[in-house]
Amino acid sequence: MKTFAWFCLALGIEGSVQAVDFETEIMPVLTKAGCNSGACHGAAAGRGGFHLSLLGSNPAADYDAIVHELEGRRTNQAHPEKSLILAKPTGYLDHGGDVVLDEAGPGAKRLVDWIRSGVSRGTAKQLTTLRVEPSRFVAAAFPTTVSLKAMAIFDHGVPTDVSDLTLFSSADPAAVEIEEFEGNMVARIKRPGQHVVLARFLNRVVPIQLNVPLSDKAIDLSSQPRGNWIDEEILQLLSELRIPVSPPSSSNEWLRRVTLDLTGRLPEPSKVEEFVSQDSLDVRSGYVDALLASEAFSDYWTLKFSKLLRFHSLPNEKEGLQAYSDWLRGEIHNGTGLDRIAHQLLTATGDSHFVGPANFGRMVSDARDQAELVGQFFMGTKLGCANCHNHPLDKWTQDDYHGLAAVFSKLERGREVRLTSRGAVTNLRTSEPAVPRIPGFQDLDGPGDHRVAFADWLLSKDNRYFARATVNRLWQAMLGRGLVEPTDDLRDTNPPTHPELLHKLAENFVQSDYNIRHTLKNLAMSHTYARSGTILPGNASDDRFYSHAYGRELHSEVLLDAIADVTGVPSTFKGHVFGVRAVTILDPLEPVTALDILGRCTKAKGCDDNGVANGGLPAKLHLLNGDLLNRKLIDSDGRLNKLLEAGQSDETIVREFYIRAIGRNPTESESTHWCQQIMESDEKKRRDKMEDFVWSLLNSRTFLENH
């Protein structure tokens, strides 16, 4: 009996060391201390001969590095407190990363306990949910503080407070500081506005939105008109942030804006007069419907999607691009749901000179490129980082990247696009052939066309990757800024400004059978879209909450067409019939000097950002001094020459160009001003001054922007 008692006592002493699970209790300590960050041992090549996976994305490899590597030098099981894994971060030994772990703190204790208990890997619990409190916070004033908590729910079901193991990081430390106060994690907000704190625990990242009013004075937006649920969402956030909204735009402004956004064209002068005289919600609705049904809409949105899909011609082979262009335009014109278009793009095979979507896989050089294009276009995400290492800011692993590439590895990309039994992609992590995989979801075992499995998953009932990416791009096209920017970088660590709105837009888009016209009309008919660009004292700094309209430079093709329309001198493009519009030229490799100067998308990267491919300073200088404008101004068949030859008055000519270029009549003072400037008895001098007037108008921001 005595022996048994001693045995129990011994067990009790040993039992004071709690069993510690490596993955769920040790890894977070390292992540929180910054050990596995990109600047430290999480760098691609590690640091100081010690490599950890970036932000703990590969627990097995990290366990190996800590426990096994170099004959276990980093953990001392005989004397746990002497372990290198403790001695370095606590500052006992010289450490390039300075002291990052309090030797008396809970993290260090947990490490000692783990080593003392035998450095076991533990029974990995699966994290099912990470909840943070608050997930959203609206402050009444600033500076202010918010307590942050994180609760993990593992597969065993018992919620566990993991606040002390969660890395809370501020996206803008100058605005929000994270600090520990009396054992709790606290966010100290130092600036007004919308801020984001990211809570990272294991492989989960949850954004916490902190909204602090920009003004001391409450504002009442309850009387603001609401066209649909989009306005509700926008006004709610503006109200929380106490940002006043600008007045609605004029009928002329709205007309020019919506015509440019939906068709890439300026409104016809006859339409302007008619619309302005009858403007109402019904008239607007009818006008939007007409635009959405127009050929111009199909041309313009074919161009937009062609850029995202990296359209370009192949050497000595124009037929493929022609078939691809014809197919895409046809699908858009016929109103085919984007889900069906997507499925065809992902799975098509056949003669690419006749089967348009079969060209999708020919726009890239290999399976890895295709995986990146698929990630970018269909999922709104940049997978490229995961080629060489797990994505530093997202959940994508190397297995995801190479697995998705493997989905397309058996595709033969000649004129005849077909699946073969050959072809593999090497997973750079394992140096073995990659297993086809739906990223972040599951491996695709067995034979068959894995592209179909991927497409089915992407477009399945509960999958919102494609819908979210698409509606965000549509929003950006109409409102000037995506709810997530950049639009091809949707991830947990880059949250939307309006999460609920993005969610609703995506749901609505799916319910409409992926109908882009449906979503575009919703956006066009909202009061948010109709807001003017007038700046008020309280909303001047707003560049993302849509309190006023944001001016956007016209895309190069649209600008070139607009100049042609205003001057009445069509641009000529080699190899195309006279009068063809720039928006119908989908091949970025086609030599078009004017577009090269104004800026084009490259075939390699496409254009998936708000900056499009504007040509910057050279484009501006060319507009000011180059041939592009000047030649059209003096063209004998041009509008100006015809008006002058027809003996039109200065006032009429000024009015004509105003309404064509900026969609409205000149104000009285503008008309007077220009007429005074132009007034000249000498015909030659009058012509020169008229040219200067049109030149001035076409170089003005009012013309060069959609506002």
Partner 1 sequence: MTKVFAAFLFTALLTTQCWLAASPIASSPITAMVFSPNGDEVLLGSQNGLELRTWPGMLMVGTIESELTQVHDLKFSPDGRTLLAAGGAPAEEGVVEVIEWVNKKRVRRIVMHEDIVYRVAWSPDGRRWVTAAGDGMGSVVDAASGETIARYEGHSRALLDIAFFEDNNTVASVGVDQTVQLWNSSDGTHIRTLDNHVGTVNAIAISPTKPTTDADGPVTVATISEDRTVRLWQPKIGRLMRFSKLPSVPRSLTWSNAGDRLYVGCNDGRVRTVDSSTMEVIDTFDANVGRIHELAMDFEKGLILVAGEQGFYTHGFLRKQ
Rule CB under 8 A: say whether 580 interacts with partner 1.
no
Q: How many C-beta neighbours within 10 Å does residue 562 have?
A: 22
User: At a CB cut-off of 8 Å and minimum separation 6, what does 458 contact?
Assistant: 342, 346, 378, 379, 465, 466
Residues 439-458 vs partner 1: string with x where CB under 8 A?
--------------------
CB nearer to partner 1: give 84 or 675.
84
Region at 574 (left for phi over 0; alpha for psi -120 to 50; beta for the rest): beta
Rule CB under 8 A: say whether 432 interacts with partner 1.
no
Q: Smallest gap, in angstroms, from Cβ of residue 442 to partner 1?
A: 25
CB nearer to partner 1: give 223 or 431.
431
Rule CB under 8 A: say whether 78 interacts with partner 1.
yes
Rule CB under 8 A: say whether 570 interacts with partner 1.
no
CB nearer to partner 1: give 69 or 102.
69
* CA atoms of 259 and 216, how far apart (whole Å): 39
Q: Smallest gap, in angstroms, from Cβ of residue 113 to partner 1?
A: 14
Q: Smallest gap, in angstroms, from Cβ of residue 76 to partner 1?
A: 5
CB nearer to partner 1: give 88 or 410.
88
C-alpha distances (whole Å) from 115 to each of 89, 93, 121, 124 are 16, 18, 11, 17
What is the identity of the amino acid at 452? Answer: V
Span 36-65, contacts to partner 1 by CB under 8 A: 49
Radius of gyration in angstroms for the set of CA atoms belonging to the chain, rounded to a whole number: 31
Q: Are 149 and 185 in contact (CB under 8 A)?
A: yes
Q: Smallest gap, in angstroms, from Cβ of residue 83 to partner 1?
A: 9
DSSP per-residue letters across 601-634: --TTT---STTTT--HHHHHHHHHHSHHHHHHHS
**Residue given tokens 């179909």 in the structure block:** 452
CB nearer to partner 1: give 50 or 305.
50
* CA atoms of 609 and 199, how far apart (whole Å): 27
Residue 385 φ/ψ, nearest 5 degrees: -60, -35
In this structure, are strands 167-170 and 144-154 parallel, antiparallel, or unpaired? unpaired
377-388: b or e for each residue (b if 16 or more CB lie within 10 Å)? bbbbbbbbbbbe
Rule CB under 8 A: say whether 68 interacts with partner 1.
yes
- DSSP three-state, residue 393: coil
Name the segment binding partner 1 (CB under 8 A); options: 74-82, 211-219, 290-298, 374-382: 74-82
* CA atoms of 71 and 64, how far apart (whole Å): 10
CA angle 404, 406, 407 (to 5 degrees): 65
Q: Smallest gap, in angstroms, from Cβ of residue 6 to partner 1?
A: 16
Q: Are 146 and 137 in contact (CB under 8 A)?
A: yes
Rule CB under 8 A: say whether 3 interacts with partner 1.
no
- DSSP three-state, residue 204: strand
Rule CB under 8 A: say whether 72 interacts with partner 1.
yes
CB nearer to partner 1: give 75 or 409.
75
Residues 470-509 vs partner 1: string with x where CB under 8 A?
----------------------------------------
Name the segment binding partner 1 (CB under 8 A); options: 84-92, 122-130, 320-328, 361-369: 84-92
- DSSP three-state, residue 540: coil
Q: Are 436 and 443 in contact (CB under 8 A)?
A: yes
* CA atoms of 326 and 303, how far apart (whole Å): 11
ω into 143 cis (within 30 of 0): yes
Number of shown-chain residues binding partner 1 (CB under 8 A): 18
CB nearer to partner 1: give 432 or 637.
432
Rule CB under 8 A: say whether 18 interacts with partner 1.
no
Among 44, 60, 70, 535, binds partner 1 (CB under 8 A): 70
Q: In the structure encoding, which two tokens stand for residue 328, read together? A: 């895409």
Rule CB under 8 A: say whether 71 interacts with partner 1.
yes
Rule CB under 8 A: say whether 388 interacts with partner 1.
no
CB nearer to partner 1: give 94 or 462.
94
Name the segment binding partner 1 (CB under 8 A); options: 77-85, 140-148, 205-213, 646-654: 77-85
Span 93-112, contacts to partner 1 by CB under 8 A: 93-94
Distance from the Cα of residue 39 to its chain's centroid: 25
* CA atoms of 171 and 148, how far apart (whole Å): 15
Rule CB under 8 A: say whether 19 interacts with partner 1.
no
User: At a CB cut-off of 8 Å and minimum separation 6, what does 353 contact?
Assistant: 319, 320, 323, 415
CB nearer to partner 1: give 65 or 586.
65
CB nearer to partner 1: give 68 or 685.
68
Name the segment binding partner 1 (CB under 8 A); options: 69-77, 326-334, 590-598, 671-679: 69-77
CB nearer to partner 1: give 77 or 649.
77
Residues 109-148 vs partner 1: string with x where CB under 8 A?
---------x------------------------------
Q: Smallest gap, in angstroms, from Cβ of residue 78 to partner 1?
A: 4
Q: In the structure encoding, which two tokens stand for residue 42, read together? A: 């999480």
Q: Smallest gap, in angstroms, from Cβ of residue 81 to partner 1?
A: 12
CB nearer to partner 1: give 68 or 642.
68
Among 82, 136, 340, 642, binds partner 1 (CB under 8 A): 82
Rule CB under 8 A: say whether 1 interacts with partner 1.
no
Output the 3-class SS for 142-194.
Answer: CCEEEEEEEEEEECCCCEEECHHHCEEEECCCCCEEEEEECCEEEEEECCCEE
**Residue given tokens 């919703």 in the structure block:** 522
Q: Smallest gap, in angstroms, from Cβ of residue 147 to partner 1?
A: 38
Among 41, 88, 581, 632, binds partner 1 (CB under 8 A): 88
Q: Smallest gap, in angstroms, from Cβ of residue 73 to partner 1?
A: 4
- Picking from 178, 159, 57, 77, the residue whose alpha carbon sits closest to that of residue 118 is 77
Name the segment binding partner 1 (CB under 8 A); options: 76-84, 374-382, 393-401, 633-641: 76-84
- Picking from 507, 458, 498, 459, the residue whose alpha carbon sits closest to that of residue 476 is 498
CB nearer to partner 1: give 59 or 337.
59
Among 21, 38, 43, 76, binds partner 1 (CB under 8 A): 76
Q: Smallest gap, in angstroms, from Cβ of residue 93 to partner 1?
A: 5
Among 32, 41, 74, 498, binds partner 1 (CB under 8 A): 74
CB nearer to partner 1: give 61 or 283.
61
Rule CB under 8 A: say whether 683 interacts with partner 1.
no
Q: Which long-range contacts (CB under 8 A, 24 or more apart) does 46-49 make?
A: 47/96, 47/97, 48/96
Name the segment binding partner 1 (CB under 8 A); options: 72-80, 302-310, 354-362, 618-626: 72-80
323 sits in which H/E element: helix 319-334
CB nearer to partner 1: give 121 or 190.
121
Name the segment binding partner 1 (CB under 8 A); options: 87-95, 171-179, 226-234, 690-698: 87-95
Q: Which neighbouring-strand residues pair with 195?
A: 210
Interacting residues toward partner 1 by CB under 8 A: 49, 68, 70-74, 76-79, 82, 84, 87-88, 93-94, 118
